[in-house]
Amino acid sequence: MSTREPTPAHPGGPPLGDGTRLVHAGDEPVVPGAPLRPSPVFAAPYHLGDQPPGTGGADGYARPDNPTLRVFERAVGELDGGDCLSFATGMAAISSAVLALARPGDRVVLPSDGYYTTRVLARDELERFGLRVELVPTLEIGDVAARGDLEGARLVMLETPSNPQLDVCDIAAVARATSAAGAVLAVDNTTASPIGQRPLALGADLTIGADTKALTGHSDVLLGHVSAARTDVGRELHARIAAWRKTTGNAPGPFEAWLGHRSMGTLDLRLARQAANAAAVAELLAGHPAVRGVRWPWRAEDPSFPLARRQMLRPNGIVSAELADIDAVLQLVRTSRFFLAATSFGGLHTTVDRRAQWGGDAVPEGFVRFSCGIEDTADLVADLQRALG
């Protein structure tokens, strides 16, 4: 299921696959006697000697930039096809992208059905700064764009596939509209991951990731990033967001950056197993009489399937479905061995999250988001069969 990068290793050579790109992303050419990957550099200030800060490109202070962050950002930027800035969390990346660009009075269009904390950010913080926030469903943003209604917007953010309902919208079509309207298009690419979808190649100005999820994939680190397109607009946005991060100070520490880089090397393998597990779990759920509304954008029956197949590069492990009620979800969690009750997604472990318990999503009480992990498919299927009865 792995996709291949159009850029070959050598001019005229074969294109590189995801596995190769991920293992080598960000690395300098090997040096005999040196480790394959540099260790994290733990420093806040750097020794200046008798030189002014920044002399010959030397580091002075870790907040704006440091060697470990640079390597990690180079790696993620390579995957996205843009210039990356890493943040302490996914929400730090999203809030920075909005707040670095928008001014009081600006119209900002956000998804009404994406990750709910983005809506909390809009309601509790952005409106306080005088931004005019408009919430549009993922399935409607294409029509809004086609009608020319993005005219006058400063920033449009999409989340596709949306979390948790897994609707998909056409990034390239919205990008044409935002570009014509002089608006910035940012895409929250978290559910897809940088190897599952390349928003910058589809015309977005910014792609955003909550790297807490599949990119790092071990449920042990919080990280986020924004990558900007390598265009004049993208370079300007990158400079603005970098300045914002330097001043507000929400960069990750070197340990997190190093751990993120260390973890992402296996994304190709993890995503392949997670997707295989999701295909089996979705099929089983869809065939069960007590389960409704199964969503996995790569099931041929899914309403997102035609667009997902055209726009995305590969599937992942996130499935959503509606069980009868709260008790049915609790029963599933109690009786299964491997479907662990936990929020977040994209990790090694299979998890099930009853979204209504968080109060942010407009979903029924029995609506669950499954994040299929990397366990053996047969074990998950047997466990789920037993638990559903």
Choices 89-97, 148-156, 241-249, 364-372; region in contact with ligand PLP by CB under 6 A: 89-97
- Quick one: 224 or 373, whose CB is closer to ligand PLP? 224
Does position 110 bind ligand PLP by CB under 6 A? no
Instruction: Just list the catalytic residues.
Output: 63, 115, 188, 213
Nearest distance from C-beta of residue 228 to ligand PLP, angstroms: 18
Choices 61-69, 86-94, 101-109, 303-311; region in contact with ligand PLP by CB under 6 A: 86-94
Task: Tell which one of 85, 98, 101, 115 touches ligand PLP (CB under 6 A).
Answer: 115
- Quick one: 210 or 312, whose CB is closer to ligand PLP? 210
Nearest distance from C-beta of residue 196 to ligand PLP, angstroms: 13
Choices 87-95, 103-111, 148-156, 274-282; region in contact with ligand PLP by CB under 6 A: 87-95
- Quick one: 41 or 342, whose CB is closer to ligand PLP? 342
- Quick one: 219 or 231, whose CB is closer to ligand PLP? 219
- Quick one: 21 or 369, whose CB is closer to ligand PLP? 369
Residue ranges in 206-245 that form contacts with ligand PLP under rule CB under 6 A? 210, 212, 222, 224
Task: Tell which one of 76, 91, 168, 187 touches ligand PLP (CB under 6 A).
Answer: 91
Total of residues contacting ligand PLP (CB under 6 A): 15
Cα separation, 190 vs 131, whole angstroms: 24
Enumerate the β-bridge partners of residue 16: 5
- Quick one: 150 or 226, whose CB is closer to ligand PLP? 226
Enumerate the β-bridge partners of residue 4: 17
- The arrangement of strands across the sheet holding 107-111 comes to 83-87, 224-228, 206-210, 184-188, 153-159, 107-111, 132-136
Residue ranges in 316-355 that form contacts with ligand PLP under rule CB under 6 A? 344
Of all residues in the shown chain, the one whose CB is closest to ligand PLP is 90
Does position 90 bind ligand PLP by CB under 6 A? yes
Region label for 169, one of left (φ > 0), alpha (ψ between -120 and 50) or beta (otherwise): beta
Does position 190 bind ligand PLP by CB under 6 A? yes
Nearest distance from C-beta of residue 301 to ligand PLP, angstroms: 24
- Quick one: 190 or 311, whose CB is closer to ligand PLP? 190
Does position 263 bind ligand PLP by CB under 6 A? no
Does position 89 bind ligand PLP by CB under 6 A? yes
Residue ranges in 148-187 that form contacts with ligand PLP under rule CB under 6 A? 159, 163
Binding region for ligand PLP (CB under 6 A): 89-91, 94, 115, 159, 163, 188, 190-191, 210, 212, 222, 224, 344
